[in-house]
Amino acid sequence: MGSRVWRFPLFFSEILFLLAKKRKDFRKVFRTPSFKKTLSKKFDILEEDDRKKEISISLVDLPDLVLDCILEKLSPAELCSMAQVCFALREKCTSDHLWQKLLKQKWGEAIGAAAYREWQSQIPSKRFLYFTERRSKLWLFSTLFRFKSEMREEKITPNSVMSCYLVLETGKFWFSAQVFNRENGHVGFMLSCYDAQLSYDSATDNFVARYKAQGRSMIEEGIEWKRIRAPTIKTPANVLHISSCLDDLKPNDHIEIQWRKNKDFPYGWWYGVVAHLDSCSGNELSCQCHASDTIVLEFKQYSGESRWRKAEMKRKSHREIGNEVDGFYGGIRKLSNTQEIEKWKQLWPNCTLE
C-alpha cells in the first residue's frame, strides 16, 4: 500500500513531461510567422511586381522612330494584322509613308502616274472603305486580311496609299500599263510593247491584259512581271508622239519607235537602233550620218533580207510614214537609260525573225 502512494507523484510527473513535449511538437507544426516577417514578405512581393511593371513596356510606348523602324520590317499581311490590335497601332500601320515603300517595292515598275490618276478618279464618294471579317476560312485581299472567328470592322481612308495597294492586290482595279511581246510572245509582236489595261491575279502572281483594237477587246492571261512596265510617256496609244530627240540621234543609239498595222489600230513601241547611212563607210572618225536629214533605223531581230529590217525617217519634216502593206511608223524616243536597254535585250528572240 505504501509503495503505491509513493508511486503517484512519479507517475504524475511523467504525464506532465509527456504533455510538455507534445505541446512543443504541436507548436513546431502550427507555428505562426511573426508580424515582422509577414510584412517583410509583402514588401518583397510589391517590389517584385514593380520590377515586372517596369520591364513590361507596351509597343505603343516606344519612341516614334523606334516603332517606325520595327513597322518598316513588316510585310503587308503583318501590317494589316498589327492594325487590328488597337487604335494607336492602326493609325501607325495605315500611314502613307509605310505603304508607299511597299507600293514602290512591289508595284514600282508596273504602275505609273497614269495608273495612279485612274485609281484616284475611281475613289468612291464615301468617306471610308469598310472591310468586315466574318466566320469563314476564306482569305480576303490575297492573304492580306484573313477572316477570323470574331466580327471586326476596319476603316481605311479611300485615298490612302494602303487602299491603293489593296485594290491592286485584289485585282479589282484595272490599271494602264504596257506589255512586252504581247499575245504570249507571238512572232508578229516580238520586241514590241503595247498599251493595255492590266489586272493582277494573286493566285498565280501573274496579270491579265485587255487590249483594244478596232472597237474590240482582246484578253491575254498569264503575263509575268518581267513583261510589263509603266507607260514611259503621256502620249495615248492612238496619237502620234512628237519626237524631241531627232536632232540628237546618231548611229548606234538605242531607240523605240511607234508602229501600227493600219490606222484603225493603236501604236505599239518597237525596239531598234540607229544605223549608218548606205553611203557611209561606218568609220566613226569620218562618219557624217548625224549631220544628215535622213535617219536609218535598224531592227536587228529581223534577217538582213526581211522588209522589216530597216526604215528611214526625216529629222526636219517628221511625220507618220508608211502604207497598208508595211504598216505606219510614228514618233521616236531615244533610250538613254541602261536599264531600259537591258530590258529589251532580255526579251530578245531565240532565233532571227523573217
Instruction: Tell me: do 218 and 254 sit in the same domain.
Output: no
Q: Model-level pTM greater than 0.85?
A: no
Distance separating alpha carbons of residues 86 and 60, to the nearest angstrom: 9
Asked if 219 contacts 208 with a C-beta cutoff of 8 angstroms, the reply is yes
pLDDT, tens digit (0-9, with 9 covering 90-100), for 89-136: 888 888 888 998 998 889 888 887 777 778 777 775 444 344 433 333
Distances (CA, A) of 218 to 23, 78, 174, 229: 103, 37, 14, 19
In this structure, are 129 and 110 located in the same domain?
yes
Q: For 190-225, how does the pLDDT look when each residue is reduced to its tens digit (9 = 90+)? A: 999 999 999 999 999 999 999 987 667 899 999 999
Question: What would the 3-class secondary structure string for 118-150 be?
Answer: HHHHCCCCCCCEEEEECCCCCEECCCCEECCCC
pLDDT, greater one: 275 or 128 = 275
β partners of residue 197: 176, 210
Residue 290, pLDDT above cutoff 60: yes
Chosen domain end from 170, 188, 209: 170
How many structural domains compose the chain? 3
Classify residue 329 by its DSSP letter: E
* Pair (305, 340) in one structural domain: yes
Q: Which of 200, 229, 258 is the last residue of a domain?
A: 229
* Domain of residue 212, residue span: 176-229
Q: How far apart are the C-alpha atoms of 256 and 272, rounded to whole Å?
A: 6
All cell numbers assigned to 333: 524616243
- Assigned domain for 101 exists: yes
Q: Is residue 34 part of a domain?
A: no
Q: Residues 220, 250: one domain?
A: no
Same domain as 222, residue 181: yes
- 26: enclosing H helix or E strand: helix 2-29
Do 95 and 165 have their domain in common?
Answer: yes
The pLDDT of residue 58 is 74
Q: 183 and 264 in one domain? A: no
**Is residue 125 in some structural domain?**
yes
CB 304 within 8 A of CB 328: no
Domain boundary among 170, 203, 238: 170
* Statement to judge: residues 76 and 141 lie in one domain: yes
Distance CA 31, CA 43 (A): 22
Same domain, 266 and 215: no
Residue 274 lies inside a defined structural domain of this protein: yes
